[in-house]
Every structure is written in structure tokens, then in C-alpha cells.
Amino acid sequence: MAEVQSEAESLKSKANQCFKDKDYDNAIKYYSDAIELSAGNAIYYGNRSLAYLRTECYGYALSDATKAIDLDKKYIKGYYRRATANMALGKFKAALKDYDTVVKVKPNDKDAKMKYQECNKIVKQKAFERAIASDELKKSVVDSLDIESMTIEDDYTGPKLEEGQVTVQFMKDLMQWFKEQKKLHRKCAYQILVQVKDLLSKLPSLVEISLSQEESITVCGDIHGQYYDLLNIFELNGLPSKTNPYLFNGDFVDRGSFSVEVILTLFGFKLLCPQHFHLLRGNHETDNMNQMYGFEGEVKAKYTSQMFELFSEVFQWLPLAQCINSKVLVMHGGLFSEDGITLDDIKKIQRNRQPPDSGPMCDLLWSDPQPQNGRSVSKRGVSCQFGPDITNRFLEENHLEYIIRSHEVKPEGYEVAHNGKCITVFSAPNYCDQMGNQGSYIHLRGSDLKPTFHQFKTVPHPNVKPMAYANTLLQMGMM
């Protein structure tokens, strides 16, 4: 017995070292091995929970933290970890309950007290929002804007729309202006947002496009506010145009601290090339995520809370999926928690809302592939994981060849799974300045729709750390 415990402790030490080295996948592996040898040790579950938090597997982190608490009711780190996982999942009341437990046990812990107060503030704010929410259709921010009367001051030397329109020159000037860490005038930002909302609201939830034999399209994954890496994509692959179309597959904002620059640039190109520049919604184009992971804080810091409300409205009109030549389906997350969903069902989704906790809209934004057949509970705590058999069945029923999705960091910037029928593309290299991954984008040519992958490394950016605008609960350390 002592030998077994000694081996388990040795595995825990290996895992701890991997964790320090930010090799979270191996940390999880060694913690799991230690748990196999000593399943009654709360610390092993607590440590693995923290490693899962680092890899955004919030569902698994929640489960491990709960198990740690079940094994040892006095294991305070377990309550911390569970609260953090619940916060990440937007389950604020559940998080508050655990922070309350921590504060009662450790009344002099300043960090715990701050987290409790911050979480309590969010819970009260949510309750207030529900109380004042009306059944009537909420008025759009657009109705209360008088953009024409906004004046651009004489000392503003940045880019301006030409007669209210985005042009190629405006986009070039805008990218350079943002590169120098300067702010677009609020009048121009509002002009872009109002126009792009009008444009997106006319699109279906499932956009269908056709490429001729000679045409190709570039598909990019998550950008997450990494503006300088976005500029690098355009440097490597050319600016968007009628002859160089792009599809950006969600998660434009949050985490990276240049999300405003990313989204205004992408919206500008959407207005410049409406038929040849495509944007799909990700799980981070939602209020809950933006409140926690930085975009709301960033917009308020750089502009106003009113502008964030308008961004929120625009995000709700982003399409949920795109079908290329009736053969390739692209969505941010993945496939569905139930069988039998068709392309027609996707077309019928009423998307102009915050996503529900379950159902097809939630799955398109949140689900992940898994190597084994069938479906399982999501590691994220939202939607599900789907196996190769689920992918095959969906493709056969809808006469498709394969799917492209994003939503997950991959060391190489992409991953081909499910016998080539489920492709992940991720375009934020060295994600959050710490993951060390490459970024990639995909070229698809109309003649054969065979994906070709292009990898790239991160480029330097100004010294503004990721999560600089995130909720203070996520900026604070996870005990």
C-alpha cells in the first residue's frame, strides 16, 4: 500500500512539473495516473481540476472539483476551483455559494473576499436585469443614435469613411492606424456597426455559397483579439477582395486585448466585400462570454457601454453556419446532441438572440469532436462531444463530404479527425501568449474542395497582456 501511495505521489510530482511548464495535457495525464492508483486523494482531483481550467475544459474541472470536495469537505481549494469553473460557465449563483464557503472558513483571505464580492455583484446585476426585462421587443440602440450630428474633431487625423462608405483605402488606413494603437473615431465605429448590422440581418442562419472550378476561399479559425496575428494573416495571404475571399469562423473577440481592433477590421471588410468576406458566430460572440473574458470591458474602456450594447445586437445577427458548394459545412463548434438534424433545420434557427443552454443553436457554437464513437458529456460543460459515427451519419444524411470547425486550440493550428471528415482550424498562434501553438488557415478550391493547410507562428504585439480587460474574477489567480 505504501509503495502504491509513493508511486502516486511521484506521478503527482511529475504532473506538477508539467503544470509549471504549461504542458497541461501531460499534467492531466499524470494526475489521472495518480488518481488510478489512489482514487481517494482529494488533492489529485483538485490539481487535475486546475489543469482542466487552464485548458478550458470547464465541465471536467467542475466534476473534478466536486469529487475533491466529496472526498474532503475541508479541502478549500476544491471550493475555489469549483467556483472558478462555474464562473467560466456563467453559473454565477453556484459560484457564489462556493465563494461564500471559502470566506466563512478563511475570513482573513483577501483574495477570497474580493472574489466573493465580485461574484455577488454579478449575481445582483443579473437579478436586476431580469427584473427590468420587459416582454416588449427591446428597442435597438440604433434607434437612439444620431450619428449624423456626431462631429469629428479637427485634431482627429485618423481614417474616416468616404461619404459614409468603407473603401479599400479606408481599410488600409484603418489597419495602419490600429497597428499604431490609435483609436478609430466613435462616429466611424458607429457607422460601421449600424451598416454591418443591417447587412447581417438580411442573411440566413445558414449561408450557402458556390465556388467555381478556379475559385478558392481561405477559411480562418479563432482570432480572439490577437490583432497583430490577424494582420499577419493578411500579410501572408493577401487582403480580402472579390478575388481573394475569406471566411472567419467565429471567436473574433475576448481574451486577446485588441478585440475592438479585430472586430472593427473584420466588420469593415464585410462591408467592403459583402459577397466575398464571410463571418460566422462563435460561442464568444455572446454577452455572457464577453462579460467574463474581456470584450465588454475593452469596449467600455475604449468607447462606451452603449457601443457594447450595439456590438451585442450585431453579434446576434451573425450567421451560424456556411455551406460551400453543397459539400462542405462550416460552423464554429460542431455537430448536434441529437440525430436527424438537417441543413433545413439549421436554416430555420431563429438566431437573433443569446444562445440557449441546449439545442441545435447551442451545439453549433459549443460542441467538440471526440475520437470514440457515440456522444459523451462535454468537457466544457456545455453541449456535447460527438464521435466519428455521428459525423458520418450527419454527412450521409445531408449529402456532405466533411465539416470544418474551430473552437479548440491545436498545437499545429489544425487537426484532421474522424477519417478526414472533421477538420479543426485555429488561427490564434501562441494563444493567450502562453500555449505555444501554431496558427493556421485553410485554402479550399472549387475544383476539388480538398483542404490545404497553411501554418504560421505568432508575431510580436505591444505589451498589453491578454485578459487585460477581463472580469477581475478571471484576472485574479485561481487558488
Query: Per-residue pLDDT tens for 380-389?
Result: 999 999 999 9
Q: Is 294 left (phi over 0), alpha (psi -120 to 50) or beta?
A: left
Return contacts of 148-152, CB within 8 angstroms, 24+ apart.
150/186, 150/187, 150/190, 151/187, 152/185, 152/187, 152/188
How confident is residue 134, by pLDDT bands cut at 50, 70 and 90? low
Predicted pLDDT at 137: 58
Neighbours of 40 (CB within 10 A): 9
Report pLDDT digits (tens) over 349-362.
Answer: 999 999 999 999 99
Q: What amino acid occupies position 433?
A: D
- Per-residue confidence (pLDDT) for residue 22, from 0 to 100: 85
Please, is 398 exposed, middle or buried when counting C-beta atoms within 10 Å of its C-beta (0-12, 13-18, 19+)? Answer: middle
Q: What is the pTM of this model?
A: 0.93
Torsion, CA 433, CA 468, CA 227, CA 152, rounded to 10: -170
Amino acid 478: pLDDT: 44
Asked if pLDDT for residue 294 goes beyond 90, the answer is yes
Least confident of 23-27, 29-33, 233-237, 298-302: 23-27
What is residue 126's predicted lDDT score, i.e. its pLDDT?
A: 84
CB atoms within 10 A of CB 47: 25
Summarize the confidence of residues 306-313 as an average pLDDT.
97
Q: Where are the alpha helices (DSSP H) in 38-166?
A: 42-54, 58-71, 76-88, 92-105, 110-132
What is the percent of the chain with per-residue pLDDT over 90, rounded to a whole number?
Answer: 89
With a pLDDT cut of 70, the percent of the chain lying above it is 98
Residue 2 has pLDDT above 90, yes or no: no
Q: What is the mean pLDDT of residues 266-287?
A: 98
Domain 168-478 coded CATH 3.30.420.10: no
Q: What residues does CATH 1.25.40.10 cover in the chain?
A: 1-132
Residue 400 has pLDDT above 90, yes or no: yes
Report yes or no: 71 and 41 within 8 Å, Cβ to Cβ: yes
- Cα–Cα distance measured from residue 187 to residue 206, given in angstroms and rounded to the nearest whole number: 31
- Could you count the other beta carbons within 10 Å of the beta carbon of residue 71? 17
> Which whole number is the average pLDDT over 236-248?
98
Q: How many CB atoms lie within 10 A of CB 109?
A: 16
| CATH superfamily, region 1-132 | Tetratricopeptide repeat domain (1.25.40.10)
- At residue 125, does pLDDT exceed 90? no
How much is the pLDDT for 475?
58
Catalytic residues: 284
Whether 136 has a pLDDT exceeding 60, the answer reads: no
Residue 476: the pLDDT is: 46
pLDDT value at 301 more than 70? yes
Predicted pLDDT at 158 = 98
Outline which parts of the chain fall under CATH 3.60.21.10.
168-478
Confidence at residue 479, expressed as pLDDT on a 0 to 100 scale: 43
Per-residue pLDDT band for 88 (boundaries 50, 70, 90) equals confident
